[in-house]
Each structure stands twice: as structure tokens, then as C-alpha cells.
Amino acid sequence: MTDPISKQLGDVEAARESGRRKMDWAVQHMPILGALRASFEADQPFAGETIGMAMHVEAKTAVLAEVLAAGGAEVAMTGCNPLSTHDDVSAALDAVDGVTCYAKRGVDDEEYYGAMEAVLAHEPTITVDDGMDLVAMVHEDYPELIDTIVGGAEETTTGVHRLRAMDADGELDYPVFAVNDTPMKRLFDNVHGTGESSLASIAMTTNLSWAGKTVVVAGYGYCGKGVAKKASGQNADVVVTEVEPRRALEAHMEGYDVLPMADAAEEGDVFITTTGNRDVIVEEHFERMQDGVLLANAGHFDVEIDLDTLSEMAADTYEARDGVQAYEMEDGRRLNVLAEGRLVNLATPVALGHPVEVMDQSFGIQAVCVRELVENGDAYDAGVHDVPDRLDKEVAEIKLAAEGVEFDSLTETQAEYMDSWQHGT
């Protein structure tokens, strides 16, 4: 087995043990992947398949990779963000039979894309992405792989946006499931997962309280809703900024203050961007902010806070704490940026990503999508596809059974009634 990570680690065995312990803990709280693993081990649906993965390499993702390998796949994996890899988990994963992991924390661009190329050198037949970098690289640099790729699955909103744009341009040459868009993923992972883990990561990184603070949440989509709700639950005052009128109205009706960022900039103590867009917090906003503000991003890419301009504006910058870079302005105000503006719930030194249970759902969908591609890949044309509802329901039912929750079914009469148009007043 290749071992690219171990060279970087002082004590490889200790690193593997530590990573393994994190994975074993996650496994205990991932009943969906547990159930799928049992059926994959028995049926070996992925025998002969090579799965290339580019995802945040931490314990939960490692469990997904291990489950796919247990189903007979050869798995080659790397990270999807230069700061989110847990090196011990990467080492533990690389030691799993059937898995090669190239992910390393703190890589520069060359190493980041080099690791992705190493994954593609395995000639994957299926790609699993978080942010679409792998699909992009296949199409731009390794188009010869497309013929043998059955399909892919995409984890996050930004990746799905990029894929839909590529599809609209007629440039997407194999089918990809929009895992992000399923109810079992988006309503839990984006909302509760991002909300809980972003706030936890900010609190742990800064050792500061939420109570009494004004938290500005940029974007009131799925992630923004979760961040706003959890911040409010921690007794913070929440201000929302939006560009979409219905979402602005939703936030207003939920009881939050809705303001343009130019005004919110003066009020906020903590700013959390969740838009998936660029240049959300820029020079005119930095100019108006109070001394000591915290700036964090939970959107996929590090383009939401304009750090280049902030650097130019700063008279001095220094590391105020691990994971916190202070930018001191000429007038003495200090603006504190967490995790270099990268995903705050994954990229601060103490960040753990989403809670395990939430990722069990998201990765349960990933796993059944991979199975669907292997079993029925021919049924899907090139392009972005919604995950079939039956797969989403299958995962929900496994979770409910694991939680011991029973629920009703439609009677025949009810089902007929719901499907008919003849019954009126």
C-alpha cells in the first residue's frame, strides 16, 4: 500500500491509532452506514469498481470510504479543502484494505491538485465529490477517463451549482447525482449540521460567548437558517443579510432583523457568511466594523470575505490565537478572521465538522447513490440528476428504525384519495 501521509508524520503508528479511534467512535453513531455496510459486505455490489473521492478527510468521511471498500470497491481518496484534513484519520484510512488516501492538511495549491491527480491515476469508474473539483479535473485534464466513468455523486450546494452551470453549457459528460438537494441531506446537514458545527467551532476557537452578541448571518438559505436559529438559541441577537426577496422576507417573519450588509457591518460582533457567493464582506464593510469583530465563513469556498483587500487595509496582522488572524487597522480596530476565511466548521485547528449523526444521513445518501450508479448507471444520461425519491426514503427508513421511531402508512383509501382529482366538495 502506498503511504504518502506517513512520511509527514512523526509517529505513523500513533497517528493511525488516533485516526482509527476517531473512526471507531463515528461508526458507533452511524447506524445508516452500519446497515448499508452489512448489506454491501454480503452483496459486494462494488466489486471491480474504482471510486475516486475528494471530500473533507475526517472521521465520518473515512467511515463512508471504508464502507464502500467493504462493498468491494477500490477507493482512492483526497481532500476537498487544503485545511480540513485530519492527518491521523488520513493515515488510518490509508491503512484500510482497498483504500489509498492522499489527503494532507495545510497543503499548497500544487500539492492539493497533485493529490487529486494521484486519485485520478487510479482511473475511477465513479467519482464522489464535495465541491466538484474532481469532476472538473476529469473534464479539463483527463477526458479519456470519461468513457469508463459510470457516474458521480456531489455532496454540497456549491458543487451542485457548478455542475448545473456545466450541464447548462453542455459540458458535463457523465451523470452526477445532486446528493446535496435531497431532503435527507439538505434539511439536516446544511441546516442543523452547519448551524451546530459552525457555532461550536467559533466558540472553541475563540473561547468567547454567544450570549449578548450580535451575530450577522449573510445568506438565509439552508445553512444560514441553521446558523441563525442556533445563534438565536444561544441568546445572540441575529441580523440577516440577503439578496433574494423571499428569503429576506422569511428571515423577517422569523423575527430576525434584516439589513443590508453596509448597515449590518456597524452592528455585528460576529459575522458568518453562508451564501456560496463571492465578495459578500468587502472594503466598505470592513471600514464600518467595530473593534474586535469576528469574521467567519461557512460557505464552500474562501471567497465570501475579501481577505486580499483586508490585508491591504491592515497596518499590521498577527495570529491572535490558533486559527484566528487579527488584522489591525490604522485607527487601531482589530478585525479577527477565523480559519483564513475557509469553512469555519471544518478548517479551524479544533474544528470537527458536522455532528456524526448528521453525516450518517448525508453519507447514507452518498452510499446508495453509488450503489444506484453501479446497478442502474445506464439509465442516467450525462447531466445532473436528482436522487430518486425511493433512495432518499430508504435512508430515512433505516434511520427511523435505528432510532426506534415508528410512523404511520397511508391506508389504501387514503392513497387513492391523495392520487385522485375527482373528490371535491
Residue 190 in contact with ligand NAI, rule: CB under 6 A? yes
Using the rule CB under 6 A, which residue among 214, 274, 325, 361 binds ligand NAI? 274
Q: Is 341 annotated as a binding residue?
A: no
Of 42, 40, 106, 102, the C-alpha closest to 73 is 40
Residue 276 in contact with ligand NAI, rule: CB under 6 A? yes
Helices 356-376 and 59-70 pack at an angle, to 10 degrees, of 30
Using the rule CB under 6 A, which residue among 174, 210, 222, 286 binds ligand NAI? 222
Using the rule CB under 6 A, which residue among 201, 275, 348, 361 binds ligand NAI? 275
Q: Is 219 annotated as a binding residue?
A: yes
Q: What are phi and psi of 80, to 5 degrees?
A: -125, 15
- β-sheet with 334-338: strand ranges across: 257-258, 237-241, 214-218, 270-273, 294-297, 334-338, 324-328, 316-321
The conformation of residue 26, written as its DSSP 8-state character, comes to H
Q: Is 345 annotated as a binding residue?
A: yes
Min dist CB 75 to ligand NAI, Å, is: 22
Please identify, using beta-carbon distances, which residue of 124 and 299 lies nearer to ligand NAI.
299
Using the rule CB under 6 A, which residue among 101, 264, 270, 298 binds ligand NAI? 298
Judge contact between 199 and 164, C-beta under 8 A: no
Q: Is 223 annotated as a binding residue?
A: yes
Residue 234 in contact with ligand NAI, rule: CB under 6 A? no
Report d(CA 157, CA 134) in Å as an integer: 15
Q: For ligand NAI, which stretch binds (CB under 6 A), given 104-112, 203-211, 217-225, 326-334?
A: 217-225
Q: Is 221 annotated as a binding residue?
A: yes
Report d(CA 36, CA 29) in Å as an integer: 14
Report d(CA 273, CA 11) in Å as an integer: 38
Q: How far is CA 248 from the centre of its chain?
A: 24
Rounded-to-5 percentages of helix, strand, coil across the chain: 50, 15, 35
Residue 79 in contact with ligand NAI, rule: CB under 6 A? no
Residue 219 in contact with ligand NAI, rule: CB under 6 A? yes
Per-residue H/E/C for 348-416: CCCCCCCCHHHHHHHHHHHHHHHHHHHHHHHHCCCEEECCCHHHHHHHHHHHHHHHCCCCCCCCHHHHH
Residue 336 in contact with ligand NAI, rule: CB under 6 A? no
Strand ranges, E, within 227-333: 237-241, 257-258, 270-273, 294-297, 316-321, 324-328
Q: How many residues of this chain bind ligand NAI (CB under 6 A)? A: 28
Residue 299 in contact with ligand NAI, rule: CB under 6 A? yes
Residue 361 in contact with ligand NAI, rule: CB under 6 A? no
Of 290, 292, 288, 231, the C-alpha closest to 256 is 231
Using the rule CB under 6 A, which residue among 277, 290, 309, 317 binds ligand NAI? 277
The conformation of residue 4, written as its DSSP 8-state character, comes to T
Residue 280 in contact with ligand NAI, rule: CB under 6 A? yes
Min dist CB 218 to ligand NAI, Å, is: 5
Q: For ligand NAI, which stretch binds (CB under 6 A), given 294-302, 334-342, 396-404, 413-421?
A: 294-302
Min dist CB 318 to ligand NAI, Å, is: 26
Q: Which residues are annotated as a binding site for NAD(+)?
A: 156-158, 190, 219-226, 242, 277, 298-300, 345, 354
Q: Which residues are annotated as a binding site for substrate?
A: 130, 155, 185, 189
Using CB under 6 A as the criterion, which residues of the chain lie in contact with ligand NAI when the complex forms? 156-158, 189-190, 194, 218-224, 241-244, 247, 274-277, 280, 298-300, 343, 345
